[in-house]
Amino acid sequence: MAKGLAFVALSLIIGVLQSANAEVPAIFILGDSTVDVGTNNYLPDSNITANFPHNGVDFPFQRATGRFSNGLNTADFLAKYFGFKRSPVSFLSLNGTLAIKKRKFRGVNFASAGSGLLDITGQTSTQKANVVPMGEQVYQFSMVYNDLVASKGTSEAQNFLAKSLIFISVGSNDIVGNHYSKNPIPKEQVIPNLAVVYEKHLRNLISFGARKFGIISVPPVGCCPSQRVSANGECLKELNDQAEAFFSTMDTLMRNLSYENKDIKYSLGNAFNITKPIIDNPQNSSFTDVKNACCGNGTLPCTPLASLCSNRHKYLFWDMFHPTQDASRLVASILFIGDSRFATPINSSQLAEA
């Protein structure tokens, strides 16, 4: 199923690129390592980084940019499908200079590996900035909004943002982090608590002009190589159950939010439904290894000394947690053109035209 859908999606993408691109002046990315393009490189105290080999082995010139991937990630492919070269650059790489007055300003990536909806997620010390949590990412977005207003005026800035796309991929680190926490939130309260915080962040983004949201839900995190290690090679059911519950909760949240705010449009991507069938039936996909990490053994991060698979396009997972470039391409293509099984109430290409 996944292989067939990807073929159909990629063949249709070419046909919609031009019209979608015309409707998208900029793309803004918020979230975690699934869409981070190097934010943590600029955090001196962060140990959640990927700016070293073997990361980037399939990126142009084999550059390790900070992406947790052998090449491009989901943010890059989504941007490419809208006519961009790849994801916009990291906010922190701009050093406070957005160059909004320049004609080529087309968005920013705020995502930070290890971050989550909760401020505490990914932070190993209250005194140091290990990651940029969602709350801080939203604040950075507000800074962009203020710069746009200063440069273009309020009306033009709001029109610019209303046509732009806001992609958010977050929640996995909150779920996994809480599972291993010494003081976890009770199981029945985890997802409702995360939804409350997510709603707060979305409302803040709306107040700063965001109108079109591409929400990427949590994938089956219990099937990552790192989690299989602790479950005797099987997927960790508790984490997958929470990932599914997260999507259902976000579905309700986004329905209510769009009902309340009539000018809000959204596409809620079901990363669980996209990925789990591949894991369960790899023979129906182009992947032959859906359990192991291509880089490393699943228990340790990808480093220059880690083992590296040679047939990377056959692996679903790049390292302990993250997808390979081919897996990210597949996910992005289905988010872009997939049907209601994978994106609701519309897909990303339809979101651009909404």
Q: Which two tokens stand for residue 72?
A: 């491009």
Of 54, 179, 201, 322, which one is the catalytic site residue?
A: 322
Q: Is the peptide bond before 345 cis (omega within 30 degrees of 0)?
A: yes
- Spatial separation of the C-alpha atoms in residues 328 and 35, rounded to whole Å: 10
Beta strands in the chain (DSSP E): 27-31, 107-109, 165-169, 212-216, 265-269, 289-293, 315-317, 343-344
Give catalytic status of residue 33 as yes or no: yes
- CB–CB of 86/340 below 8 Å? no
**Tell me, what DSSP letter sits at residue 130?**
S
- Looking up tokens 């190589």, which residue turns up? 225
d(C-alpha 334, C-alpha 13), whole Å: 10
Catalytic residue among 32, 33, 147, 169: 33
CA-nearest of 25, 130, 54, 128 to 324 is 54
What does the angle CA 185 – CA 219 – CA 33 come to, to the nearest 5 degrees? Answer: 85
State the catalytic residue, choosing from 32, 36, 174, 319.
319
Residue 91 has a CB neighbour count (10 Å cut-off) of: 26
Query: What gap in Å lies between CA 317 and CA 275, rounded to an integer?
Result: 11
| Rounded distance between C-alpha atoms, residue 322 and residue 326, angstroms | 11
DSSP 3-state helix, strand, coil percentages of the chain (rounded to 5)?
45, 10, 45
In angstroms, rounded to a whole number, what is the distance separating the alpha carbons of residues 2 and 22? 29
Residue 107, Ramachandran bin (φ over 0: left; ψ between -120 and 50: alpha; else beta): left
Q: Which of 157, 142, 155 has its CA nearest to residue 204?
A: 142
Residue pair 290/316 in contact (Cβ under 8 Å)? The answer is yes
Name the helix (H) or strand (E) containing 249: helix 237-260
- List active site positions: 33, 319, 322
